Structure formats: structure tokens, C-alpha cells
Amino acid sequence: MTIRRWERPFWWWLDYVYAGWQQARSLLKRRRPGSFAEGSPELPAVILLPGVYETWLFLEPLAQRLNARGHRVFAVPELGLNRMPITRSAEVVAVALARLRAEHGLDRVILLAHSKGGLIGKQLMATDDAAPLGLGIVGMVAVSTPFSGSSYARFLPTSTLRAFSPQDEVLQWLAGQRNPNGKIVSVYAEFDPHIPDKSALDGALNIEMPIAGHFLPLGNRLLGETVERAVGGLLRAPQPPVP
């Protein structure tokens, strides 16, 4: 698939239609299915990290796939609409992981993130906030994450969105943290209307898909298949012992 320049406005519009639909669903369906907590305790649990102004519902198609494969899947409702700074969000996720460990006996997790969620996940991995909890982070699959920021961010109307500028101090610090990158799979579309420089991350497994959109790929079957394979690859990779 090659996205021509004259086609881009159409994909941009379609991307926002999809995002609007998911936002409308979020108003009606706030709780994740109880069945998501059921699965094999021998497999790492999957922790959902949505993007800014998103709920777990944006990741629901992927969560359903992985739950069908036997993974227990958990959201982090404490993130709300995910407007907090990245460092604060990572602290909130660490506290939520402690709660989930106590309630469900988790010992290993895989982070499944969209957009800003991938930055939160890398912050968590870079600072090793989960290690004192006795949790091992097997890795992260990040979809459409602006690891290098977005050159559009400085034109956006809110500080929450301007924080994705490549000049942001937190993003620059994260870019310098290379240790987690080998445990990250970054998946992104050929054309992302929000991240013109794409989502490739040095040292990570980068997968560019022949599709378009920032939100739209979340409902695409190709992405679902790609995420399943990525999770399988993380499970096959050698893992250090849990502290």
C-alpha cells in the first residue's frame, strides 16, 4: 500500500471518524469484561496502556485477541483519560501493578500500548518501577507511539498535547534511555497523520504496516495479527529472572 499525498486528507478524516466513534463508546461502556481477567497464570498478563484522551476501549480489539490466546488482560482505570504527565502516569501504573499483583497474583506482564501509552510504558521500563513489586516486564508492544515526538505538537492547543514536542525534556530523556528498547516492539502505519516522522525506535523491533492512520489501525485485522506475533516473539526471547 502506498499512500499518495492527495489521499492523505481522506485517511486523516477517516482516522478522526474512528476515534470519535471510540470516544462515544467510552461514554457508554466504561468497565472492561470480567472475562478478561480469566486466563492462564503461566502466561504473562497483558496491561493496557491507551493514549491521551483514550480509555481501554481503544485497545479492546487487541485485548480480545490476546485474551482468546490465554492471556489475562487488565486495564488501568486510575489513568482516567490519560492527561497526566508521562512521569506521573508511570507512577500511577506502578501503583496499579502492585494492586493487580496482590489481587491476581501477577508475576510477569506484557505492556500493550497505544500512542502516549508507549511512552508511559518505556518510562516504567527505564526507571524499573515494577522491579520492587516483584514483577517482571517481559516487554512492550507499542502501536503508533511518538518515541521521537511529533513535529505537529507545538501547534496544538493544549499543554497536554504540546508535551509530545520533540523538544520536550521528558521525551528527550526517554530517547536517551536505550536499555528498554530491545524489549520493545514498535508497530506503526505507513502513514500516520499525527506522527509524520513515524514511530521507529533505535534498538527496538520496528514493524511498519501497509495501512494508514493513528487510531484506525487499532481495529484492523492486520494489526491484530501483527500484535499476536509480536507478543509471541517476546515470550520466546530470553528473560532475566524476576527480582
Quote the DSSP letter at residue 129: T
Rg (CA), the chain: 17
Q: What is the pLDDT of residue 158?
A: 72
Cell numbers placing 170: 521528558
Residue 76 near residue 117 (C-beta atoms within 8 A)? no
Q: Which one-letter amino acid corresponds to residue 36?
A: F
Q: Which pLDDT value is given to residue 130?
A: 54
C-alpha grid cell, residue 12: 486523516
Question: Could you give the domains of the chain?
Answer: 5-236 (3.40.50.1820)
Query: What's CA 136's distance to the chain center, in Å?
Result: 17
Closest CA to 130 of 117, 118, 139, 141: 139
- pLDDT beneath 50, residues of the chain: 241-243
Q: State the CB neighbour count (10 A cutoff) for residue 53.
A: 18
187-243 pLDDT, tens per residue? Answer: 999 999 999 888 999 999 999 999 999 999 999 999 999 999 999 999 987 665 444
**Secondary structure string (H, E, C) spanning 141-183:** EEECCCCCCCCCHHHCCCHHHHCCCCCCHHHHHHHHCCHHHHH
Confidence (pLDDT) at 134? 63
- Pairing type for strands 73-74 and 136-143 reads unpaired
What is the pLDDT, as a whole number, of residue 131?
Answer: 56
The predicted structure's pLDDT at residue 238: 66
CA 149/CA 119 separation, integer angstroms: 10
Distance CA 47, CA 122 (A): 13
The pLDDT score that the predictor gives to residue 35 is: 78
How many angstroms separate the Cα of 84 from the Cα of each of 89, 160, 189, 223?
Answer: 6, 8, 26, 27
Q: What is the pTM of this model?
A: 0.91
